[in-house]
Structure 1
Amino acid sequence: MTSIYDFRAKTLDGKDVSLGDWRGKVMLIVNTASKCGFTYQYQGLEALHRDYAARGLVVLGFPCNQFGHQEPGDAAEIANFCSLTYDVTFPMFAKIDVNGDNAHPLYTWLKTQKRGILISRIKWNFTKFLVDRSGKVVARFGPTTKPDALRAAIEGLL
């Protein structure tokens, strides 16, 4: 049986990390983009990270260019944008695909754990998966769900 802790991903600065590094934490996993109508959600995601990190939440950002080519930059450009524009301090990963033949294995697995409305595909940037401390995917939220709306669900897991 596959667990979220079995997956690895590269950070924006090229380090290969295991999601097992966050074993025992509540994870909020989000596919992001710098030039999207939902990009402002970085601010809310960072607020969640800062407000709840000490209690065990980690936000994990996965840039993706599959939706309207809204993440065209390379790793350095993404890191610079996130830092300068939204002061992002939560872990950001290298750009990935979330759908299709080249989808990152983590996202292939996440989609099997929590389907979207009618389909399992990721519909757009800023789709969010909430994972409890035991590694179970407990909820999936669409792009229009603002990070602040997740506070009750996150508090319930902390």
Structure 2
Amino acid sequence: MSTNDTNNAFYTLSATSLQGKEIPMEQYQGKVVLVVNTASQCSFTPQYEGLEALYKKYQDKGLVILGFPCNQFGNQEPGGKKEIEEGCLLNYGVSFPMFDKVDVNGKDAHPVFRYLKSELGGLLGSWVKWNFTKFLVGPDGKPYKRFAPITKPEKLAPEIEKLLARAK
């Protein structure tokens, strides 16, 4: 694989939206992408507000946030599509794309997370430690930085701005 292939591997992936539509990551080419594993009954769930604020602030400049509900940590996302969609919308006004519930660790880990973890290992190796782990992908499709669940979304703004400046 050439360096260019590695940089663009993100764009070869796809995921199923909460509405059941297959979404190719290549549609986000040239954008700064923030991938987050989410949960509606987690102590970090209020981060949806901060994520939505980031999305509203930078969406027109080229940021997209992709939320992937995950039930692998403490059964904190037990609901189905309808409950997830209603919870995100009603409780937090989420307007960024949300995807089907996925696994982020183990043999059934979604390919998006397998790829991001292989490129950006964390403190526990490549494993995702908890809900609201955040992966920032540059406008070239190259995984840029990983953020811990405790990192509040607003703390990502300087890194997002740096990558948005590169996208121009």
Which category of TM-score, normalised to the shorter sequence, fits these structures? over 0.9
Match of 1:34 in 2: 40
- Residue 84 of structure 1 pairs with residue 90 of structure 2: yes
Match of 2:108 in 1: 102
AA aligned opposite 1:89: S
Match of 1:44 in 2: 50
Match of 1:61 in 2: 67
- Stretches of structure 2 that go unaligned for 5 or more consecutive residues are none
- Residue 114 of structure 1 pairs with residue 123 of structure 2: no
- Residue 17 of structure 1 pairs with residue 32 of structure 2: no
Q: How many residues align?
A: 158
What secondary structure sits across from 1:108 in the alignment?
helix
Over 3 Å counting, the alpha-carbon distance change for 1:118 and 1:33 in structure 2 is closer
Deviations 1:69-93 (A, max 9, x none): 0000001110000000000000000
Give me the CA root mean square deviation: 0.8
Identity %: 56
- Aligned-residue offset at 1:117: 1.4
- Aligned-residue offset at 1:119: 1.3
2:78 to 72, 83, 94: 72
The structure in which a higher percent of residues are helix is 2
Normalised TM-score (structure 1)? 0.98
- Aligned-residue offset at 1:95: 0.1
Deviations 1:95-121 (A, max 9, x none): 000000110011111101100014110
Match of 2:152 in 1: 146
Distance 2:155 2:39 in 1: 20
Normalised TM-score (structure 2)? 0.92
